[in-house]
Structure 1
Amino acid sequence: MIRTAILGVGNVASALVQALEMVKQGEKIQGCLTSLPYKPDEIEVVAAFDIDKRKVGYKLREAIFQKPNVVPKYVDVRGDVVVKKGVVLDSLEGILERIIELSDEKESDISQVLKDEKVDVVINLLPTGVVKASEYYAEEALKAGSAFINATPTSLVNQFSSAYKEKGIPIFGDDLLSQIGGTSLHTGLIEFLKSKGVQVLRTYQVDIAGNTEVLVTLEDWRKDLKKGIKSNFISKHIDGAEVVAGTTDYVEFLGDRRVSYIVVEGLYSFGIPVRIDVSLKSQDAPNAVAPLVDLIRIAKMLKESRVGGSIPEVSGYYFKKPPVVYSSMEESRKVLLEYISKVTS
């Protein structure tokens, strides 16, 4: 069993917990690696932390459906894990203050809970821009000897890589790349055009959704942070083109549905212009499930082998802001599979 803890019981946590329940009932998660020694049904969430009074003190199977979460109910989740109070180290002023109803429960001793529950892997699912708490949780996981997956844009991997390497514990990040989100599709489209000899001149991507993750990023500084990471990731895969990518608006009635609009302009043949317009419509939170299920199992595998630190071969495939950005997604997947084959052989 892979004993797992979740930081932030939001929409992604809801999708992940439900997916793990469905796996235990015989369903399959599309897109997961099959070459790992651990299987998805061996993942068990044994601890969860949040700061919202609508979730703290409630069973996780109930908390994942509490407001402001908007992920639909796909399955009845079993289990008696109770959500514990996390830490409040960042300012809640602005949009977060409107979203969160702060619990007055006492903050938990995070590292002690992780030790008591013998947690193998901790997943950071806090909102964009929650920096101090993310750093604190990374330190607490290190104290407890737990691997750490940073799905948020907060820069943690380079900061903590040496300490985690010294203890033989992996840390992956930063900013999870969705399975079939706008950035993944956008990058894949550009790589296809490059393979056909098209000169990409300019491209942009705009994302709209109705979940709290998008609402939070409407604050200018959070929006600029996400926009910078997405644009930089895509820019790494093309030379000299103008790139703009990021969240543009919150539409409440969309709920967890995300709409991405992608435009690519370039030249082909003897300077003939071409323009591609793509609209992608998907459920947002489930996009994180397959990558997280892979990362949890890889983290457990490496932790058992005493392989610690940032592991560029892993983070380079699953994140938008990894320690090393490869020239293409195809290359990053090849490097990942070769690395896993070497570790498991």
Structure 2
Amino acid sequence: MGLDLADAIWVAPNNARAFAEVPSSGVVVVEGLMGGEEVVGVPDARGEAVVDEVVAALRGTDVLVNFLPVGAQRATELYARAALLAGCAFVNCMPSVIARDSAWAARFAAAGLPLIGDDLKSSFGATLVHRALVDALTNGGVALHNTYQLLGGGNADFLNLQDPARLSGKRATKVAGAGAAAHVSAAYIPFLEDRKVAYIRLEGEGFGGSPVEVEVRMSVEDSPSAAGNVLDAVRQAKAALDTGTGGVLPTTLMKS
């Protein structure tokens, strides 16, 4: 807090690889709110602001993007409320339930404000690959029985996913496996930093009950992989705001 945004983004525990030069923005980071939810692994996290202070800071803003930690449902709801009061479009990049909730969807529609969510897809991530494999196999006549997605990473997102309750919210937006028994787990591996490593396996039966097994390992830098899609989501929200289109916007940029 108190730093220009261009400097604050490099402060630990942020560990994304530098993929762009960020000039001084003139935007100073101020205290936000956490909704009483602990940020895993950050004992000195601050978040004592109240909704009215956030609303005041947001006045004149077009689009509010939510990248709060996984599992911060209450804090996400408080920011969604602040967006409504400040007249902002809301892009929910996390698996917290906002766009999937009919009450929140109705509130944004009534206010004439765009809502996009929930849970941002990476441009090329594990969920995209997993779903593509599910589609390819099922379209080819394979009956899927079991599938898993084992994830490892060293950023704050993975640190928060060590809480089983937070991981359960993430599972809700992951691949369902087309009727197969599906398993999703996430390991926090500090030396991976912002790199995400995914192991994907699918098991099923082809013609005549013949066994079919597919295994994939993929590795991507997590933050830049998501950056392009969040920019597109912001553009979509701003375009809808300019035309007075409110409520949940159809999009291919989110997992749900």
What TM-score does the superposition give when structure 2 sets the normalisation length?
Answer: 0.92
User: 1:32-72 CA distances to partner (integer Å, 9 max, x unpaired)?
Assistant: xxxxxxxxxxxxxxxxxxxxxxxx11111111100001112
Which has the larger share of helix? Answer: 1
User: 1:108-143 CA distances to partner (integer Å, 9 max, x unpaired)?
Assistant: 71111111xx21100000001112221111111111
Q: Quick one: which of 119, 137, 148 aligns to 2:79?
A: 137
Give the AA of the match of 1:91.
Answer: E
Instruction: Classify 1:160/1:254 alpha carbon distance in 2 versus 1 (closer, same or farther; 3 Å).
Output: same
Aligned partner of 1:259 in structure 2 is 197
Q: Is the 8 A contact 1:263 1:277 kept in 2?
A: yes
Q: Is the 8 A contact 1:141 1:148 kept in 2?
A: yes
Aligned partner of 2:17 in structure 1 is 72
Give the AA of the match of 1:98.
Answer: G
How far the C-alpha of 1:97 sits from its partner, in A, is: 5.4
Task: Give RMSD over aligned pairs.
Answer: 1.8
Give the AA of the match of 2:3.
Answer: Y
1:211 aligns with 2:149: no
Aligned partner of 2:42 in structure 1 is 99
How far the C-alpha of 1:301 sits from its partner, in A, is: 0.8
Alignment of 1:78-97 (within 5 A): 78=23, 79-92=25-38, 96=39
Give the AA of the match of 1:156.
Answer: I
How far the C-alpha of 1:286 sits from its partner, in A, is: 1.5
1:242 aligns with 2:181: yes
5+ residue gaps, structure 1: 1-55, 322-345
1:186 aligns with 2:130: yes
Once the two structures are aligned, what percentage of the paired residues are identical? 32
Instruction: Classify 1:225/1:189 alpha carbon distance in 2 versus 1 (closer, same or farther; 3 Å).
Output: same
The separation in 2 between residues aligned to 1:254 and 1:190, in whole angstroms, is 27
What TM-score does the superposition give when structure 1 sets the normalisation length?
Answer: 0.69
Instruction: Classify 1:97/1:241 alpha carbon distance in 2 versus 1 (closer, same or farther; 3 Å).
Output: closer
Instruction: Classify 1:282/1:153 alpha carbon distance in 2 versus 1 (closer, same or farther; 3 Å).
Output: same
The separation in 2 between residues aligned to 1:192 and 1:104, in whole angstroms, is 45
Aligned partner of 1:343 in structure 2 is none
Instruction: Classify 1:273/1:145 alpha carbon distance in 2 versus 1 (closer, same or farther; 3 Å).
Output: same
Q: Is the 8 A contact 1:90 1:131 kept in 2?
A: no
How far the C-alpha of 1:308 sits from its partner, in A, is: 0.6
The separation in 2 between residues aligned to 1:105 and 1:266, in whole angstroms, is 51
Secondary structure of the 1:276 match is strand
Q: Is the 8 A contact 1:90 1:130 kept in 2?
A: no
Q: More displaced, 72-81 or 141-150? A: 72-81
Q: Is the 8 A contact 2:34 2:48 kept in 1?
A: no
5+ residue gaps, structure 2: none
How far the C-alpha of 1:277 sits from its partner, in A, is: 0.7
Aligned partner of 1:319 in structure 2 is 254
Aligned residues: 252
User: 1:64-115 CA distances to partner (integer Å, 9 max, x unpaired)?
Assistant: 10000111223331122111110132232xxx25325234886671111111
Instruction: Classify 1:97/1:245 alpha carbon distance in 2 versus 1 (closer, same or farther; 3 Å).
Output: closer
Q: Quick one: which of 295, 302, 314 aligns to 2:233?
A: 295
Q: Is the 8 A contact 1:226 1:246 kept in 2?
A: no
Give the AA of the match of 2:74.
Answer: K
Q: Is the 8 A contact 2:40 2:160 kept in 1?
A: no
The separation in 2 between residues aligned to 1:167 and 1:226, in whole angstroms, is 28
Instruction: Classify 1:254/1:138 alpha carbon distance in 2 versus 1 (closer, same or farther; 3 Å).
Output: same
Alignment of 1:1-345 (within 5 A): 56-78=1-23, 79-92=25-38, 96=39, 98-103=41-46, 109-115=53-59, 118-157=60-99, 158=101, 159-230=103-174, 234-235=175-176, 238=178, 240-247=179-186, 249-311=187-249, 313-314=250-251, 317-321=252-256
Secondary structure of the 1:281 match is strand
The separation in 1 between residues aligned to 2:43 and 2:129, in whole angstroms, is 32
Q: More displaced, 202-211 or 192-201? A: 192-201
